[in-house]
Chains A and B, each alone.
Chain A
C-alpha cells in the first residue's frame, strides 16, 4: 500500500521543523488549532467540535495533496471519539434534569462523526468505517484498507486517526496516575524515570494507493497487532515473524521508531528490546512531539513516511540512506502494534 499524501493536525505538524527539545507548559500537549475555513463554510463549521475540525482538516489536507476529489473508501480509528460533544451533552443531561436537550451535541458525539463529516464534505457515499478498538483503533483502520485493496474493492483509501483530550477527560485520566506532574521539557520526560507520561492528541490522515505514483512518500508493507504479549520473547517472535513474512530480517531495518512515552514501566518494554533484538539499531522516539494517546501510532506512521521520503531523521539534517523503518508501539503494555515502512 503506497502512502501518497499526508495530513496532520497535532501538537507538532512540520517534519522539517521538529525541535530536538520540546518545552512543555503543562502535562497536556494540545494539537494546533485546525483551520478548516479553506474546506468548510462557517455555517457548517459552527457545529464541529475540536476533534471533528482536526479530523476534517487532516483528511482534506491529504486529499488536496493527493489531488483527488473522492476516495474509494474511508477508514479511520479513534479510541475516545468525540469527547468534547459527549461531555457537553452529558453535562446538560444532568444539569437540566434530562429535559430541554438539544440535538447538536448529541449528533456530534458519536465515534463515527469525524469520518461521516469527511464523507459529507467530499459528497461521497463510499465505504466508510470507523474502528474503536482502544490502542488498536488506527491499526484496525489500516488493516481494513489493506484488505479492501487486496480484494480489489478500493484503489484509493483515505485512512486516518483522531483523538482528543478534553479538560474533563484529562482530569479523569490523571486520577489513574497516567501523567507526570512536573515535566518541563522533552528531555525531562525521558530522564526522570518516574511513573507517568504526557497527554497528547491529534489527527493524521493518509491517502493510501494500491498503485505507485510519483508523489509517494513510502510504502506501508505490513501492519500487525498483538494483545498482551507474555514477556519480551513473545514480542521478539512477533517482530521476527512480521519481518520474515516480508522477506526481511532485523538486519534490514535501518530505523526503529519506538513508542517510549517517559513512563518508567511503559518504557522498560522498549529498553529490553533495545538490549536484544534492536541492539545497535538507530532508534528514535516520537511521543515527545505528539504526547501519549491510543491512536498516536498514526503520528509514528506520519513520521516514518517523512523519514523515508526525506531520507533524514527528524530534527537532524544529515542525509542518510534509509530503506526500511519499523514502527513498534504499545499502549499501556496491552495493545502492541508493528508497522513496516519501506522507502520508494
Chain B
C-alpha cells in the first residue's frame, strides 16, 4: 500500500502538471479536492483517465468518484480492491 501511494503521488503530479509540488508535499489522507490540493472537476476527469491508463481500472459508477478520489489513500484502496486479475 505504501509503495502504491508513493507511485500515485508521483503520477498525480505528472498527470495534473503539479510541478510546484513534490510527492512528499501530498499527505496520504489529505483531501485532493477543494480545501486540500485544490483540484477541480477537470482534474477529476484526468484522475479517471490515470486509473485507466496506469491501472487498467474503469470507474464503473460515476457516483463513486467523490469517495474514490477523496485522498491518495482512498484511491490506493480502490485500486487494490479493483485490480484486474
Contact = CB atoms under 8 A, between A and B. Distances in A.
B80 interface: no
Contacts of A46: 16-20
Contact of B49 (A42, A43, A102, A107): A102
A137 B68 CA distance: 46
Contacts of A102: 45-46, 49
B52 A107 contact: no
A46 B20 CA distance: 8
B38 A43 contact: yes
Interface residues of B, number: 12
Contacts of B53: 100
B45 A47 contact: no
Contacts of A100: 49, 52-53
Interface string A40-70: 0011001100000000000000000000000
Contacts of A43: 18, 20, 38
Interface in A72-100: 100
A104 interface: yes
B62 interface: no
Contacts, number: 26
A103 interface: yes
A100 B20 CA distance: 26
B20 A42 contact: yes
A38 to B, nearest CB: 15
A118 B42 CA distance: 19
A107 B42 contact: yes
Contact of A104 (B18, B20, B42, B52): B42
A212 to B, nearest CB: 42
Contacts of B46: 102-104
A103 B20 CA distance: 21
Interface string A98-117: 00111110010000000000
Contacts of B52: 100
A47 B38 CA distance: 13
B38 A103 contact: no
B54 to A, nearest CB: 11
Contacts of B45: 102-103
B21 to A, nearest CB: 9
A46 B53 CA distance: 21
Interface string B41-75: 01001100100110000000000000000000000
Nearest to B52: A100
B46 to A, nearest CB: 5
B38 to A, nearest CB: 5
Interface of B: 16-20, 38, 42, 45-46, 49, 52-53
19 contacts: A42-B19, A42-B20, A43-B18, A46-B16, A46-B17, A46-B18, A46-B20, A47-B17, A100-B49, A100-B52, A100-B53, A102-B45, A102-B49, A103-B45, A103-B46, A104-B17, A104-B42, A104-B46, A107-B42
